[in-house]
């Protein structure tokens, strides 16, 4: 299925714009694209008129030039007829925002079937119905949320598809913005009457701007089954993250009333995801952690799960060790030879008080160069696959350049490193020093461990079981 007119439309028509209600979803979509997107955008309402001196066309026939995509926000019973009118003027794709279809029962399902029939007969691609639609910066944004009340992630290489529009906006748009994850495109599938997980997976995998793929899925249906099967041929080159909703009996019922999702046994679904190399995030926090590490390191699996932890706080190191053990990561204790090699690299004021067993506690007296030399040495060791660096910029000897200095070290090695920096605006320069030099930053130790867990799962699924790691 060709999705070019969904994600890269040259022209978009918004059907259902109101002349009396400025907060109507269609008005929000029209305005935000008129002022903020690269596509040409037109408004349609049978009454005609003007919207802030911009013409509202009565029919699609009146719209000048060809239309690639139509965004439909009218009552459900009118949607099939609007689809026919779109087909008559050669529209290539529909995004149906309207609800009132299969999620409402048999009558709504019949209406949805009619809509799908019109689209298939006329080779129109259908996103939805009952969805937020697509976000494809800087070309088009059909999310019907006022821009002054929302935030947008930066442009990046994570493609996201969600059966829930609210999850997409709250978890992805907001959370990804907060933690610095960039996205290439995002899609709210809604009832996924035509464009489903399998279709989107194939499209995402073929995009040159996407290095990680993320799905939020409710229930199990044929589209999800095909998606899991297709993932086997894709997950070995592009990491795929999935978060599953509707695991409990109450959650299954809620999912069905939300988007007509079909319930499935979660243990069965989880096993199928694992067999296809899909990383299942078990919490909302893991969704962000997994996607961020994979956007930085793409396909860098941990084979032996052996990591080093470097900190200027013994307590932070203890917490990190506990969390890493729970995540089935190995934190090997360093032998005397390695401890002495590390000790020789440290400044005299730190050398006699540092604890170097792993976690490496450099103490609050550590300076940038102590972190730099320790990380360089440990990444050079064959048995250390990754490192978690816990930086506390309020310690006296650490400078704002520590992130930049450690970034230069990491560039020498093909090994992932995650840095913890407290979430304070005054440490922005430290954060930028890390991330601009290829090291993802987290604001909690748990997030850092979750990131390395993602790489452990990547190695586990790629290798069919790893010595030293449990499945």
Tens of pLDDT, residues 449-465: 999 999 999 998 864 43
For 462, other C-beta atoms within 10 Å of its C-beta total 15
Q: How far is Cα 158 from Cα 440, in angstroms, rounded to an integer?
A: 15
CA distances from 335 to 226, 340, 372, 374, 376 (A): 49, 9, 21, 15, 18
Phi, psi of 196 (to 5 degrees): -120, -170
300-463: CATH topology is: Rossmann fold (3.40.50)
Q: Regarding the domain with residue range 1-130, which homologous superfamily does it belong to in the CATH classification? A: NAD(P)-binding Rossmann-like Domain (3.40.50.720)
Contact 296, 181 (CB under 8 A): no
Collapsed DSSP state (helix, strand, coil) of residue 312 = coil
Kindly give the parts of the chain with pLDDT less than 50: 248-263, 463-471
At 299 the pLDDT is: 79
Phi, psi of 209 (to 5 degrees): -105, 15
Q: Which two tokens stand for residue 437?
A: 């030099």
Contact 408, 431 (CB under 8 A): no
CATH of domain 151-299: 3.40.50.261
At 467 the pLDDT is: 38
Which residue from 85, 98, 115, 91 is spatially nearest to 24, judged by alpha carbons?
A: 98
At 218 the pLDDT is: 87
Please, what is the Cα angle at 233 between 229 and 235, to 5 degrees? 95
Q: Which two tokens stand for residue 365?
A: 């007296």
Q: What is the pTM of this model?
A: 0.90
Task: Assess whether the region 151-299 and the region 300-463 belong to the same CATH fold.
Answer: yes
Domain boundaries, the chain: 1-130, 151-299, 300-463
For 56, other C-beta atoms within 10 Å of its C-beta total 20
Q: How far is Cα 379 from Cα 390, in angstroms, rounded to an integer?
A: 16
CA distances from 100 to 105, 187, 263, 324 (A): 9, 20, 20, 46
- Give CA torsion, residues 246, 251, 252, 255, to 10 deg: -80
């Amino acid at each position: 299925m060709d999705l070019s007119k969904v994600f890269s439309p040259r022209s978009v028509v918004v059907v259902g714009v109101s002349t009396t209600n400025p907060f109507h979803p269609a008005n929000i979509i029209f305005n935000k694209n008129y002022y903020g997107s690269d596509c040409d955008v037109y408004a349609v309402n049978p009454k005609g008129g003007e919207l802030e001196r911009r013409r509202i066309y009565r029919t699609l026939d009146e719209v000048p030039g060809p239309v690639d995509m139509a965004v439909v926000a009218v009552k459900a019973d009118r949607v099939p007829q609007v689809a026919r009118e779109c087909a008559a003027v050669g529209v290539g794709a529909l995004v149906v925002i309207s609800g009132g279809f299969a999620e409402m029962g048999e009558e709504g399902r019949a209406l949805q079937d009619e809509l799908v029939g019109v689209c298939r007969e006329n080779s129109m691609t259908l996103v939805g119905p009952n969805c937020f639609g697509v976000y494809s910066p800087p070309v088009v944004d059909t999310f019907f949320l006022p821009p002054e009340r929302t935030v947008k992630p930066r442009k990046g290489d994570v493609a996201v598809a969600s059966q829930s529009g609210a999850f997409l906006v709250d978890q992805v748009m907001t959370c990804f913005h907060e933690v610095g994850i960039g996205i290439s495109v995002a899609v709210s599938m809604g009832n996924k009457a035509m464009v489903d997980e399998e279709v989107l997976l194939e499209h995402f995998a073929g995009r040159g701007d996407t290095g990680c793929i993320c799905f939020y899925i409710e229930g199990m249906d044929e589209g999800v089954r095909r998606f899991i099967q297709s993932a086997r041929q894709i997950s070995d080159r592009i990491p795929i993250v999935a978060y599953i909703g509707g695991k409990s009996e109450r959650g299954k019922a809620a999912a069905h009333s939300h988007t007509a999702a079909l319930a499935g046994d979660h243990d069965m679904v989880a096993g199928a995801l694992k067999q296809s190399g899909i990383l299942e995030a078990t919490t909302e926090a893991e969704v962000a952690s997994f996607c961020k590490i994979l956007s930085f390191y793409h396909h860098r699996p941990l084979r032996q799960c052996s990591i080093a932890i470097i900190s200027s706080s013994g307590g932070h190191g203890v917490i990190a060790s506990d969390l890493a053990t729970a995540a089935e990561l190995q934190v090997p204790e360093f032998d005397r030879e390695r401890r002495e090699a590390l000790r020789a690299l440290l400044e005299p004021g730190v050398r006699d008080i540092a604890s170097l067993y792993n976690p490496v506690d450099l103490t609050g007296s550590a300076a940038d160069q102590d972190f730099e030399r320790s990380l360089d040495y440990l990444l050079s060791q064959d048995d250390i696959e990754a490192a978690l660096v816990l930086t506390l910029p309020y310690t006296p000897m650490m400078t704002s350049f520590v992130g930049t200095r450690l970034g230069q070290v990491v560039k020498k090695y093909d090994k992932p490193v995650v840095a913890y920096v407290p979430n304070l605006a005054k440490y922005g320069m430290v954060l930028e020093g890390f991330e601009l030099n290829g090291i993802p930053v987290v604001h909690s130790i748990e997030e850092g461990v979750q990131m390395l867990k993602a790489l452990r799962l990547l190695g586990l699924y790629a290798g069919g079981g790893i010595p030293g790691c449990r499945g």
